[in-house]
Structure 1
Amino acid sequence: MMKAYIVTVALFALAFSFASASDPDPLQDFCVALKDYSEDSKSAIFVNGKFCKDPKLVKPEDFFFEGLNIPGNTDNKVGSNVTAVNVDTLPGLNTLGISIVRIDFAPYGENPPHTHPRGTEILVVLEGTLYVGFVTSNSENRLFTKTLNKGDVFVFPIGLIHFQLNVGKTNALAISGLSSQNPGVITIADAVFGSTPPINPDVLTKAFQLDKKVVEELQKKFGGDN
């Protein structure tokens, strides 16, 4: 009787473990499966994340990054600069599911509308005044905005389009934490109008309800090669 009970509990636990298991979150835009290991041996080096170093060879430097105190160069068309500390610049972050960025803003500089497909972002303002916001998904497309001052915190849910704008006459600085070692970033204007190769202008003309000449001009501006 006891043996049957133990077997029943073991089978239940096994079934529960299968039911509760799930795939890991994606850590890059895509990871195409090989049909056969020999199909393309070079492709076999790509995994969902990074290979792990032998623990015996790990050094303190693997968990260290310096320079986040250095202001980024904001002399560009949008007047902002993002310094990212992710798994590519801090190997010790691999498998830990976190990263951090420094965002510098020139006066009236902007971190343009963008998304992080693999991470929620929590931002804290260290200097200046920022107007920030995000837009919900297509069911409502609600806009949530707030003007933040030094010490204020705001969160941007994973995958939603969001932005930050320096509304002050002086430089601004923010630090953001993200819930992924490689959250990714898709800047909307760059992706839509600056893709390689460019999206057919007819697609964008209808999508944005713009004159085709305007679309073609935007593609030239953002790097499209027509």
Structure 2
Amino acid sequence: MAAKILLIALLAMASSLAMASDPSPLQDFCVADKDSKVLVNGFVCKDPKHVTAEDFFFMGLDKAGNTVNKLGSMVTAVNVNKLIGLNTLGISMVRIDYGPKGLNPPHTHPRATEILTVIEGQLLVGFVTSNTDNRLFTKMLKKGDVFVFPEGLIHFQFNPGNCNTIAIGALSSQNPGTITIANAVFGSKPPISDDVLAKAFQVDKKTIDWLQAQFWMDNNN
């Protein structure tokens, strides 16, 4: 009986590990058919006979994102919604532009680990571990440096300099998702009760009401 329970536990662990990221493809490619009305986890495959090289191609990542905004940054994503050939391949990428003092604010990717490379300039980066440690790992990066943000953990990037910075990130999902903490907490629709947030943040409701009244910018393009 004990051996049977152990076997079941091992199988459960193996299954959870196997499903921890995007599923592996079972064919050469599965280009997303975004016109299909069928709802699946991801996108159904386009008929291979109708697939062309254009389905695996994206142009424009050489162009700087507009950083003239409240955050001073812009994220240009290349995921399955923009490059349909990524469907089932478990990977995507971003270009992030930062103006002087520009910030990519604290956020998470619920479905992906991110590895970031600084192409030009400098960045202060960091991530925070889960409860109860909430340990901050932070590093100053310069051109050519690489830093990794583990899947699901809150992380950020800040350009402390007076020149523009460019970074390229690769993510382990065709559609990693982004949850910007301030936007989600204070800019949700409908809003979270100010009673809830006042107690959670240990401040008065007037402070919460003021925060909820702000414009919470989304810097994801």
TM-score when normalising by structure 2:
0.82
Question: Equivalences for 1:104-123 in 2 at 5 Å?
Answer: 104-123=97-116
Rounded to whole Å, the distance in 2 between the matches of 1:26 and 1:50 is 16
Secondary structure of the residue aligned to 1:45 is coil
1:93 aligns to 2:86 (yes or no) = yes
The 1-side partners of 2:15 and 2:169 are apart by 30
Following TM superposition, by how much is the alpha carbon of 1:138 offset from its aligned partner in structure 2, in angstroms? Answer: 0.4
- Displaced runs of 4 or more, over 3 A: 18-27
CA shift, 1:136, in A, is 0.1
Matching of residue 129 in structure 1 with residue 122 in structure 2: yes
The CA deviation at 1:92 is 0.4
1:114–1:187 contact (8 Å) kept in structure 2: yes
Gaps of 5+ in 2: 1-7, 23-36, 217-221
5 Å matches for 1:1-226?
21=15, 24=19, 45-222=38-215
Note if contact 1:87-1:99 (Cα within 8 Å) is conserved in structure 2: yes
Identity of aligned residues (%): 66
| Paired positions, count | 191
- For residues 74 and 222 of structure 1, the distance between their equivalents in structure 2, rounded to whole angstroms, comes to 17
Secondary structure at the counterpart of residue 192 of structure 1: helix
SS of the residue 1:191 aligns to: helix
Aligned-partner Cα distance in 2 for 1:112–1:69:
23
Contact 2:21–2:172 (CA under 8 A) maintained in structure 1: no
Shift, 1:139, TM fit: 2.3
Contact 1:101–1:176 under 8 Å retained in 2: yes
Separation in 2 of the partners of 1:210 and 1:197? 21
For residue 130 of structure 1, report the CA deviation from its aligned partner. 0.3
**In structure 2, what is the equivalent of residue 36 of structure 1?**
none
8 Å Cα contact 1:26/1:48 also seen in 2: no
With the length of structure 1 as denominator, give the TM-score of the two structures: 0.81
Q: Are the aligned partners of 2:21 and 2:173 in contact in 1 as well (CA < 8 Å)?
A: no
Bigger Rg over Cα: 1
- Supply the distance in 2 between the matched residues of 1:209 and 1:26 (Cα, whole angstroms): 36
Higher relative contact order (CA 8 A, sep 6+): 2
